[in-house]
A and B are shown apart, each in its own frame.
Chain A
Amino acid sequence: MKKVYTVLKDNYEDAGQASRDIKMTLKMLEINPKVLKRISIACYEAEINLVIHSNGGTITFELDDDGIVKLSFDDTGPGIENIELAMTPGYSTASKEAREFGFGAGMGLDNMKNCASTFDIQSSKDGTHLRMTFQ
């Protein structure tokens, strides 16, 4: 199974919609609730990052025959300047607007890494590419 979602920059209104759809899909497939919770947290955090930090991008959800869920987040920039710093809990470059909405706690990437079975992030000014798997 494969689904692709488009996420637009600064579209706070619809932020979380792809994560909700992925959660509903997996719930119908009766996936283990604990794994589903980890997927929901990581997917939401990554989706929000696309909205508040990127120029926009896509989320690709894949479920293979062994029940392994793979989530890919690909945007078109501007990239993360220092990934190590961005991974530090509490560090955030979120805008004032995003912070007013309750985002920008600086916990997103750390939350994702804690929830995913595998976590890989590559970034340049042309875009950030994040891969996570869950089992």
Chain B
Amino acid sequence: MKLSELQSINEIRLVNTIKDDKDIQDVYIGDLLSFVMANGKEESIWLTVQRHINVIAVAELNDFSAIIFVENVEPDEETLLKANELHIPLFVSSLDAFALCKRLYQEGL
């Protein structure tokens, strides 16, 4: 699945200015950064409710394709700016992580 295919899911919206069409190979769900660091795989999308700027460093170090903030969590302003700087697409979804995973699965991920 490609990042651009996320646009067809109504419950997901891009919230920064990074338009990219990277591959999505996997999904990681988690809010404790040590677990995400240890277990996240490259080219994953990361589903989290952590909105703080530190998620950007974690996404970058893990080579994640994008971050999706679930349950309508809006990332902090600093998080948006840092993501633009490091070219990491950020999305917000109205769904919770489980519901979003079901949607992604339906879409072929």
- The prevalent SS among residues of A at the interface is helix
Q: Complex formed: what's the CA distance from A105 to B31 in Å?
A: 10
Q: Complex formed: what's the CA distance from A13 to B48 in Å?
A: 19
Query: Quick check: A44 and B58 within 8 Å, CB to CB?
Result: yes
Closest CB of chain A to B85's CB: distance in Å? 11
A25 within 8 Å of B (CB atoms)? no
Query: Quick check: B57 and A44 within 8 Å, CB to CB?
Result: yes
Q: In chain A, residues 76-110, which have Cβ atoms closer than 8 Å to a Cβ of chain B?
A: 100-103, 105-108
Query: Quick check: B34 and A105 within 8 Å, CB to CB?
Result: yes
Closest CB of chain B to A13's CB: distance in Å? 6
Query: Quick check: A12 and B34 within 8 Å, CB to CB?
Result: no
Q: Complex formed: what's the CA distance from A19 to B50 in Å?
A: 20
Query: Quick check: B33 and A102 within 8 Å, CB to CB?
Result: yes
* Residues of chain A within 8 A of B35, CB atoms compared: 105, 107
Query: Quick check: B52 and A41 within 8 Å, CB to CB?
Result: no
Q: Complex formed: what's the CA distance from A19 to B58 in Å?
A: 10
B contact residues vs A (CB 8 Å cutoff): 31-35, 37-38, 48, 50, 52-58, 60-62, 78
Query: Quick check: A45 and B37 within 8 Å, CB to CB?
Result: yes
* Residues of chain A within 8 A of B55, CB atoms compared: 102
Query: Quick check: B61 and A40 within 8 Å, CB to CB?
Result: yes
Query: Quick check: B61 and A20 within 8 Å, CB to CB?
Result: yes
Question: Considering residues A12, A16, A106, A107, which has the most beta carbons from chain B within 10 angstroms of its beta carbon?
Answer: A16
Across the interface, B54 reaches (CB within 8 A) one of A40, A41, A101, A106, namely: A101
Query: Quick check: A16 and B58 within 8 Å, CB to CB?
Result: yes
Can you identify 6 A-B contacts, CB atoms within 8 angstroms?
A12-B52, A19-B57, A41-B37, A101-B33, A105-B32, A111-B38
Q: Which residue of B lies closest to A92 (CB)?
A: B34
Question: Considering residues B34, B50, B78, which has the most beta carbons from chain A within 10 angstroms of its beta carbon?
Answer: B34
> Beta-carbon contacts of A31-55 to B below 8 Å, as 1s and 0s?
0000000001100110010000000
* Residues of chain A within 8 A of B54, CB atoms compared: 12, 15-16, 101-103
Closest CB of chain A to B78's CB: distance in Å? 7
Q: Complex formed: what's the CA distance from A23 to B53 in Å?
A: 19
* Residues of chain B within 8 A of A106, CB atoms compared: 34
Query: Quick check: A102 and B32 within 8 Å, CB to CB?
Result: yes
